[in-house]
C-alpha cells in the first residue's frame, strides 16, 4: 500500500500540471471502487482546480465548489498523460483538462476511491484524524499525554491514525530502530526523552523518504510512470534473519496488530530508560 511519502510525492508530481487548470471532463470507466465514485464528479466541466493538498493519505483537488478526494488504496497510482493515450484494463478514472493533459487513475485491486466534498462540508473519513507527522503540532508535548494510559505496543500506537496520520509500517519499524526503542514496549512505558527521540526520528525518516521520492517526479508524465516505494537504505524492515547493521545480532520478526514487525533484540531498548 502506498505510504504517506508516496502520496506526498504524488501530490508534488501532479500539482504543476493540475493547479489553475480547468476540468474538461471526468471519465469514469469503473465506478465500483472501495466506495462508489461520487456522481457529482460527472458535472464538474469548466471548474478550475485551485490547489492540490493532502490530508493523511488522501489527496484533495480543491475547487471553489468543493474538493475531489482521491485515495490510492492498496494498488492505485496516478499519472499525468497527454490526452489520447489509450487506456488499459485497470485505468478506471481519467480527469481531462482543458490544457490537453489528463490525470489517469490506475488501480488493479480497486481499493482506492474518488469522492466529492461540497464546499463548507466535511467528509466522515477525514474527521477525527491525528495531526500530520511533519507538522509542528506533532511533538513530544502532544504525544506523551496520549500515551500515558495506553499499554498497546508503541509501534501499534504510532501507527494509529487517531494519534498521528501516515506513520506506515515501513516507517514505524525504521523510526523505532533509529530511536533504539523496542517496538513491543507498551506506549506508556516510554520516558519523555524517549518520546522526544522517537518523534524526531519519525519526522526524519518520513522527510528522507519524501526527498528520495522527489527524484521520480518526472515519471508522472510518462505512460508507464508508476512511482512506488522509493529505493531506501532500510535498517530492519524486511530483514528478518539477517544481521543487524549496528551490532550483528539477528533481526527478529513478529506480527503486531496484523503487521510485520522487525527489530534488533540488542539495540532496541526493552525497558524504560
pTM for the predicted model, two decimal places? 0.88
Q: Does the structure show a pLDDT above 70 at 156?
A: yes
Q: How confident is the model at residue 210 (pLDDT cuts 50, 70, 90)?
A: confident
Residue tagged active-site, from 22, 34, 180, 259? 259
Q: Does the structure show a pLDDT above 70 at 229?
A: no
Residue tagged active-site, from 57, 79, 185, 239? 57
Element (H, E) at 135: none
Q: What is the pLDDT of residue 61?
A: 98
| Active site annotation includes 2 | yes
Q: What is the pLDDT of residue 269?
A: 84
**For residues 70 and 93, what is the distance between their CA atoms, to the nearest angstrom?**
11
Mean pLDDT of the chain: 91
Q: How confident is the model at residue 232 (pLDDT cuts 50, 70, 90)?
A: low
Q: What is the pLDDT of residue 18?
A: 96
Backbone angles phi, psi at 134, to 5 degrees: -95, 5
Q: What is the pLDDT of residue 187?
A: 98
**Quick one: average pLDDT of 225-232?**
52
Domains and CATH numbers, the chain: 4-126 (3.20.190.10), 140-264 (1.10.8.50)
15, exposed or middle or buried, with CB in 10 Å at 0-12, 13-18, 19+? middle
**Strand residues in the chain grouped as ranges (E):** 21-28, 48-49, 51-55, 58-62, 66-71, 77-82, 91-97, 101-106, 113-118, 251-256, 259-264
**For residues 266 and 271, what is the distance between their CA atoms, to the nearest angstrom?**
12
Q: Tens of pLDDT along 73-82? A: 988 999 999 9
| Active site annotation includes 246 | no
| Active site annotation includes 259 | yes
**Quick one: average pLDDT of 64-77?**
94
| Active site annotation includes 16 | no
Q: What is the pLDDT of residue 223?
A: 44
Amino acid at each position: 500500500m502506498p505510504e504517506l511519502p508516496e502520496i506526498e510525492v504524488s501530490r508534488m508530481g501532479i500539482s504543476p500540471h493540475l493547479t489553475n487548470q480547468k476540468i474538461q471532463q471526468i471519465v469514469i470507466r469503473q465506478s465500483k471502487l472501495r466506495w462508489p465514485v461520487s456522481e457529482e464528479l460527472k458535472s464538474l466541466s469548466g471548474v478550475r482546480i485551485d490547489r492540490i493538498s493532502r490530508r493523511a493519505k488522501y489527496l484533495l483537488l480543491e475547487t471553489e465548489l468543493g474538493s475531489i478526494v482521491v485515495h490510492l488504496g492498496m494498488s492505485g497510482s496516478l499519472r499525468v498523460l497527454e490526452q489520447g493515450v489509450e487506456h488499459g484494463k485497470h485505468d478506471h478514472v481519467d480527469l481531462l483538462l482543458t490544457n490537453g493533459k489528463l490525470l489517469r487513475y490506475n488501480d488493479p485491486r480497486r481499493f482506492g476511491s474518488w469522492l466529492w466534498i461540497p464546499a463548507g462540508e466535511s467528509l466522515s473519513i477525514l474527521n477525527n484524524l491525528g495531526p500530520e507527522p511533519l507538522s509542528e503540532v506533532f511533538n513530544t508535548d502532544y504525544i506523551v499525554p496520549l500515551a500515558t494510559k495506553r499499554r498497546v505496543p508503541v509501534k501499534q500506537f504510532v501507527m494509529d491514525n487517531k494519534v498521528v496520520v501516515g506513520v506506515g509500517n515501513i516507517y514505524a519499524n525504521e523510526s523505532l530502530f533509529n530511536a533504539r526503542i523496542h517496538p513491543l514496549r507498551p506506549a506508556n512505558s516510554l520516558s519523555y526523552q524517549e518520546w522526544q527521540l522517537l518523534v524526531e526520528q519519525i519526522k526524519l525518516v518520513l522527510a528522507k523518504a519524501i526527498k528520495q521520492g522527489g527524484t521520480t517526479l518526472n515519471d508522472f508524465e510518462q505512460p508507464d510512470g508508476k512511482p512506488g516505494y522509493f529505493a531506501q537504505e532500510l535498517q530492519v524492515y524486511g530483514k528478518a534473519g539477517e544481521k543487524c547493521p549496528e551490532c550483528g545480532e539477528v533481526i527478529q520478526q513478529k506480527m503486531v496488530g496484523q503487521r510485520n514487525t522487525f527489530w534488533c533484540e540488542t539495540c532496541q531498548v526493552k525497558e524504560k530508560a
